[in-house]
Amino acid sequence: MAMELHHTFTVDAPPEATWALLTDLEQVGGCFPGATVTSATEEEFTGNVKVKLGPIGVTYQGEGRFVERDDEAHRAVIEGIGKGLRGLGNASARVVLQLEPEGSGTQADVVTSLTITGKPAQFGRGVMQTVSDKLLGQFVECIEGKLTS
Amino acid sequence: MTAVDDRPQAASTHEVGRDRRRKEDQRLITGRTKWTDNHVLPGMLHLAMVRSPLAHARITGIDTTAARQAPGVIAVLTGEDVKDLQGSLPCAWPITEDQKAPPHPAIAVDRVAFSGEVVAVVAARSSAAARDAAELVDVDYEDLPAALDLRASAKDDILAHPDLGTNRSATWVFDSAEAGTGSSVEDAIAAADVVVEREFRQQRLIPAFMEPRSTVVDPTGEQFVMWSATQVPHILRLMLAMTLGVDEGKIRVIAPDVGGGFGGKLQVTPEEIITFLVARHTGKPCKWTETRSESLLSAHHGRDQWQKLTLAAQADGTVTGLKVELLADMGAYLGLVTPGVPILGAFMYNSIYKFPAYHFSCTNVFTNKTWTDAYRGAGRPEATFAIERIMDELALELGRDPMEVREQNWITHEEFPFTTVCGLEYDSGNYEAATERAKELFGYDELRAEQQRRRESGDRVQLGLGISTFTEMCGLAPSRVLGSLNYGAGGWEHASVRMLPTGKVEVITGSSAHGQGHETAWSQIVADQLGVPFEDVEVLHGDTQISHKGLDTYGSRSLVVGGQAVINAAKKVIEKARPLAAYQLEANPDDLEFRDGKFTVKGAGADQEGVGLAGLALAVFAAHDLPEGMEPSLDADATFDPVNFSFPHGTHLCAMEVDTETGATTMRSYVCVDDIGNVVNPLIVEGQVHGGLVQGIAQALWEEAVYDDQGTLVSGSFVDYTLPTTADTINFVTDRTTSPATSNDLGVKGVGEAGCIASTPAVVNAVLDAIRQFGVKDIVMPCTPERVWRAIQDGTAGAMSETAGAAAGHFAEGEPNQDPPGAGAAPAAGTTQEGGQA
């Protein structure tokens, strides 16, 4: 199953600060619900993420890296690939992040192209959008917490 | 019922024709039976399969360490472990000399070709332990592009098996001009007043039998014993021996009670091979039973074709030629009869009609999906759907009633036996009689009037009437024909009749019932043949050590082939008993007649006692006083190979109501009048017809196996694969006309697939008939409310496209018949109504 997810959120922090945080892979990773970053450098990270999609709980173990990063334009493309534990199939994602100033804060546009195989695709497709919206909500809350504290 | 043939009926009809309650049902209904999964053997291990979640990938590593260390685990085997032992799963039907196919491993070794393919197996002390450990097998895959779309795959855009170099497995062609059985289709098309060209889609279906597949192998005796939920224990035994290089004599296969198959258990499965290998590896009995998700994912699927038809006709509606071009999706591998399934339809597209010219070609194509194989009807539902859909389209082009156009073209009852454009000889039939009865039961004219009223009043719910006048060839055999089609085996069937000293009778049949009620039907047949009580007949089957010889149950063959073998064996018993009876009666054997279970002397009066078969059986058992040279046995074997198929036919009429605002469809009425020749047990026939109808209706309205763009089956549970229940169906009106078959003593034809073959086009024709008025030209099956609604919306907006581009080759510039269809299509005055009403 391949799908594209669009999300937009705003945080109450200037673009530079937001950019610095969102490109700090260890910090960002830690904000994603269920995710653990096991190692991270400037360009790449490894880790795992645990997701529940309807009746299927799956842990993806994988790695990600910047394929594009423009610190001036605040645009980044990140690719990640994860292997589902317990033979549950793979997931891969390509995330395009674009920050724009929005008043005193920042608007972030995130476009995620997601490809999922195996049981999560079979049983989880009906809830994918809802789950990802919810996860992003929690993610944004965490990011905002880090920026404003 | 209308008797339309005055050939003598089978001699004694005390039991045959009775609606006996099935003798196997008490045991089945009360649960006093043994399915394969009920078998528990000392020290038995349980297996769980590790399956690929990817449609196409290279296996770059398998780590079984964690699984091996899990509690209760005895063994974990991968493709690497068994690659030199497992052979390649058999395909018994290479349709052409140059057919291409990849090796078909039971466990994938270095590459997986569909999502659901086995990559490792875990054996553990309990099934729960095996399943848990299977999740711990860590497989690394390197994704490969997957060939998923049938038409794209036929163009080799992405290769399902890169080493094969192409996705096209084989192309099989029949041409009536080349075969000398008819004239040239191209000439017919060039000369036609009307050319109708359409493309239809046969969606992918899942057989969805009630009992999931299960296999138990006991390696602890002199013979390996395999219990399996299979339709084909005899073929399975032979194929196990050939695939694994084990002596056939060292393998015993038992199909105990089997809960349905519908072709889905006409297979030699990877799991059967794997269970055998693990049992041999561990030295312990092993059991594998699938979950429903596993079944939907990895048991073979059915249908999945694109069908392009070109029908040439004269302006008066007489069809002059039919051209059929198919693309058939094999899925990832060739199973037991995968390539032959579309070919089983090759001789049926001309159906009940007198087409003078016919051309059929089919290209089999590999994709990275679960492999397809036999599914109820196998090839013939596809043929019936396509021809019955396009006959409607022809009527539409001509502005004529669809029944009238059919009648004009079908074989009339005076014309039997009729040799078709495919060279098949239809032995008997009466399409007029079946149709007349169906129309009467349906209230055809009244419904047409109601349809008109609703149209005129602009009713929100519109009514549509659908017709399917079908025939099928069934009773696979004859061996000679199967041989000419390159099938790897014959089509005969074997039976034995054993006379026990107590006078009871044991019947051993090579047919392998899995819900059909053979025990009852065979008992009825033998009771009549030997004049013994129905209750005294015990039918044994499905165990290769008891029924040592047979070709099993599929293709509506059991009664017409296996039943006749039983009759032949029973007749031999009578002939073996005759000299002894003559000896006891001190008469000449030729002066004896056998009736109602005893021999009497002809012309010696009605008051003579005669000698009964039971007494003779006891005398033979004692063997104290037999005629000189007589072997002390009345038991007899027979192997029967028919000279022809049987050709059931029927007229099915369906009325569908379509809610034009929501697209919801409701079946208003369904009438079928089938001619299946004489009937052994009308109750069993009724059950077969009802079940078949529901399965065919389900293809029209509900069922579809859907893959996403990664090759994941997303209709892999009964939430998404919408199998109907009784709540989804209506009361069917069924009746029969009778034209006895001439190819067997009982005059019977097959009925196992009839309902499933005939019903699909009747339903789709009815749905379309309701909504064509909105500009709708076709709806791809299943006709779900969403598709119906969209078709109405698109049609109303005028956006519905004609059969497009490549599919309409005959309408390309420079081709003949460029006149708009309406121009030459007005029905000629004084059109002859061939056949008429019987």
In whole angstroms, what separates CA B348 from the centre of its chain? 14
As a whole number of angstroms, the distance between CA B550 and CA B736 comes to 31
Instruction: Evaluate whether B136 touches B66 at the Cβ level (below 8 Å).
Output: yes
Q: Compute the mean pLDDT over every residue in chain A, rounded to the nearest whole number.
A: 85
Q: Which tokens go with B95?
A: 């349709």
Chain B interface test: which of A81, A117, A123, A127 (most B C-beta within 10 Å): A117
As a whole number of angstroms, the distance between CA B669 and CA B693 comes to 13
pLDDT over 60 at B199, yes or no: yes
Identify the pLDDT of residue B827: 40
Identify the pLDDT of residue B250: 98
- Residue-wise burial string across B284-304, b where 16 or more C-beta atoms lie within 10 A, e elsewhere: bbbbbbbeebbbbbbbbbbbb
Which pLDDT band, with edges at 50, 70 and 90, does A123 fall under?
confident
Q: Give me the total of CB pairs closer than 8 Å, taking one residue from chain A and one from chain B.
A: 53
pLDDT over 50 at B361, yes or no: yes
pLDDT per residue as tens digits for the range B217-253 = 999 999 999 999 999 999 999 999 999 999 999 999 9
As a whole number of angstroms, the distance between CA B617 and CA B623 comes to 10
Instruction: Evaluate whether B405 touches B391 at the Cβ level (below 8 Å).
Output: yes
pLDDT per residue as tens digits for the range B618-658 = 999 999 999 999 999 999 999 999 999 999 999 999 999 99
* Average confidence (pLDDT) over B202-212: 97
Which pLDDT band, with edges at 50, 70 and 90, does B795 fall under?
confident
Q: Could you say which architecture CATH assigns to the domain B11-32+492-640?
A: 2-Layer Sandwich (3.30)
B chain contacts of residue A86, beta-carbon cutoff 8 Å: 135-136
Which pLDDT band, with edges at 50, 70 and 90, does B832 fall under?
very low
B chain contacts of residue A56, beta-carbon cutoff 8 Å: none
- With tokens 């959120």, the residue in question is A9
For residue B51, what is the nearest residue in chain A, using CA coordinates?
A: A87
* B53–A83 CB contact, under 8 Å: no
In whole angstroms, what separates CA B577 from the centre of its chain? 39
A chain contacts of residue B708, beta-carbon cutoff 8 Å: 1-2, 121, 125
Using a pLDDT cut of 70, give the percent of chain B over it: 93
Q: Residue B782: is the preceding peptide bond cis (ω within 30°)?
A: yes
Identify the pLDDT of residue B815: 62
As a whole number of angstroms, the distance between CA B164 and CA A107 comes to 52
- Check residue B734 and give left, alpha or beta (phi > 0: left; psi -120 to 50: alpha): beta
Structural domains of chain A ordered from first start: 2-148 (3.30.530.20)
* Average confidence (pLDDT) over B152-162: 97
Which pLDDT band, with edges at 50, 70 and 90, does B833 fall under?
very low
Q: Compute the mean pLDDT over every residue in chain B, rounded to the nearest whole number.
A: 93
Q: Which residue in the set B50, B709, B716 is minimally distant from A122, CB to CB?
A: B716
A chain contacts of residue B137, beta-carbon cutoff 8 Å: 87
List C-alpha distances in Å: B250 to A87, B225, B545: 37, 9, 11
Domain positions in chain B are 11-32+492-640, 427-472+646-796
Q: Which residue in the set B53, B55, B714 is minimally distant from A125, CB to CB?
A: B714
Which residues, in sequence order, are bridge partners of residue B446? none
* Average confidence (pLDDT) over B112-140: 97
Instruction: Evaluate whether B807 touches B197 at the Cβ level (below 8 Å).
Output: yes
* Average confidence (pLDDT) over B711-737: 94
* A117–B53 CB contact, under 8 Å: yes
Q: Please tell me which residue, A45 or B632, carries the higher pLDDT value.
A: B632
Q: Which tokens go with B293?
A: 């998700």
Q: Does A16 touch chain B (CB under 8 A)?
A: no
Q: How far is A131 from chain B (nearest CA, A)?
A: 18
Q: Which residue in the set B50, B712, B717 is minimally distant from A1, CB to CB?
A: B712
Mean pLDDT is lowest, of B87-96, B488-497, B788-797, B811-820, for B811-820
Q: Please tell me which residue, B686 or B603, carries the higher pLDDT value.
A: B686
Which residues, in sequence order, are bridge partners of residue B805? none
A chain contacts of residue B716, beta-carbon cutoff 8 Å: 122
Identify the pLDDT of residue B607: 86
* B712–A2 CB contact, under 8 Å: no
Q: How far is B264 from chain A (nearest CA, A)?
A: 22
For residue A87, what is the nearest residue in chain B, using CA coordinates?
A: B135
Q: Which tokens go with B820?
A: 């708009």
Q: Which tokens go with B449?
A: 């009037």
Q: Residue B553: which residues within 8 A CB-CB, separation 6 or more? A: B231, B232, B261, B511, B512, B513, B514, B516, B518, B562
Q: Does A58 touch chain B (CB under 8 A)?
A: no
pLDDT over 60 at B766, yes or no: yes
B chain contacts of residue A1, beta-carbon cutoff 8 Å: 708-710, 712, 714
DSSP B547: S
Instruction: Evaluate whether A90 touches A84 at the Cβ level (below 8 Å).
Output: yes
B chain contacts of residue A115, beta-carbon cutoff 8 Å: 710
pLDDT per residue as tens digits for the range B303-336 = 999 999 999 999 999 999 999 999 999 999 999 9
Using a pLDDT cut of 90, give the percent of chain A over it: 13
Q: Which tokens go with A102?
A: 């929005």
Is the ipTM, as predicted for this complex, more than 0.95? no
Q: Which tokens go with B564?
A: 């006749």
As a whole number of angstroms, the distance between CA A6 and CA B607 comes to 95
pLDDT over 80 at B768, yes or no: yes
As a whole number of angstroms, the distance between CA B136 and CA B63 comes to 9
B chain contacts of residue A4, beta-carbon cutoff 8 Å: none
A chain contacts of residue B713, beta-carbon cutoff 8 Å: 122
pLDDT over 90 at B666, yes or no: yes
Q: Which tokens go with B633?
A: 């046995």
Mean pLDDT is lowest, of B116-125, B380-389, B803-812, for B803-812
**Which H, E and C letters describe B650-703, residue by residue?**
EEEEEEEEEECCCCCEEEEEEEEEEECECCCCHHHHHHHHHHHHHHHHHHHHCC
As a whole number of angstroms, the distance between CA B345 and CA B234 comes to 25
pLDDT over 70 at B798, yes or no: no
Q: Which residue in the set B143, B710, B716 is minimally distant from A2, CB to CB?
A: B710
Q: Which residue in the set A89, A122, A123 is minimally distant from B54, CB to CB?
A: A89
Identify the pLDDT of residue B8: 46
Which pLDDT band, with edges at 50, 70 and 90, does B138 fall under?
very high
For residue A126, what is the nearest residue in chain B, using CA coordinates?
A: B714
pLDDT over 70 at B814, yes or no: no
Chain B interface test: which of A3, A113, A122, A123 (most B C-beta within 10 Å): A122
* A84–B713 CB contact, under 8 Å: no
Q: How far is A2 from chain B (nearest CA, A)?
A: 7
Identify the pLDDT of residue A91: 86
For residue A92, what is the nearest residue in chain B, using CA coordinates?
A: B143
pLDDT per residue as tens digits for the range B578-617 = 999 999 999 999 999 999 999 999 988 888 999 999 999 9
Which pLDDT band, with edges at 50, 70 and 90, does A56 fall under?
confident
Which residues of B lie closer than 8 Å to A, measured between beta carbons? 50-51, 53-55, 115, 134-137, 139-141, 143, 708-714, 716-717
pLDDT over 90 at B359, yes or no: yes
Q: Does A86 touch chain B (CB under 8 A)?
A: yes
Which pLDDT band, with edges at 50, 70 and 90, does B831 fall under?
very low
Identify the pLDDT of residue B808: 54
Which pLDDT band, with edges at 50, 70 and 90, does B268 fall under?
very high
For residue B67, what is the nearest residue in chain A, using CA coordinates?
A: A86
Identify the pLDDT of residue A28: 82
Q: How far is B28 from chain A (nearest CA, A)?
A: 34
* B53–A86 CB contact, under 8 Å: no
* Average confidence (pLDDT) over B812-827: 50
As a whole number of angstroms, the distance between CA B543 and CA B540 comes to 8
Instruction: Evaluate whether A103 touches A109 at the Cβ level (below 8 Å).
Output: no
Q: How far is A70 from chain B (nearest CA, A)?
A: 30
Backbone angles phi, psi at B668, to 5 degrees: -95, -40
Instruction: Evaluate whether B468 touches B758 at the Cβ level (below 8 Å).
Output: yes
Identify the CATH assignment for B427-472+646-796 out of 3.30.365.10, 3.40.50.20, 4.10.490.10, 3.40.50.1100. 3.30.365.10
Q: Does A113 touch chain B (CB under 8 A)?
A: no
B515 burial (CB, 10 Å; 0-12 / 13-18 / 19+) is buried
Identify the pLDDT of residue B835: 36
pLDDT over 60 at B825, yes or no: no
- Check residue B218 and give left, alpha or beta (phi > 0: left; psi -120 to 50: alpha): beta
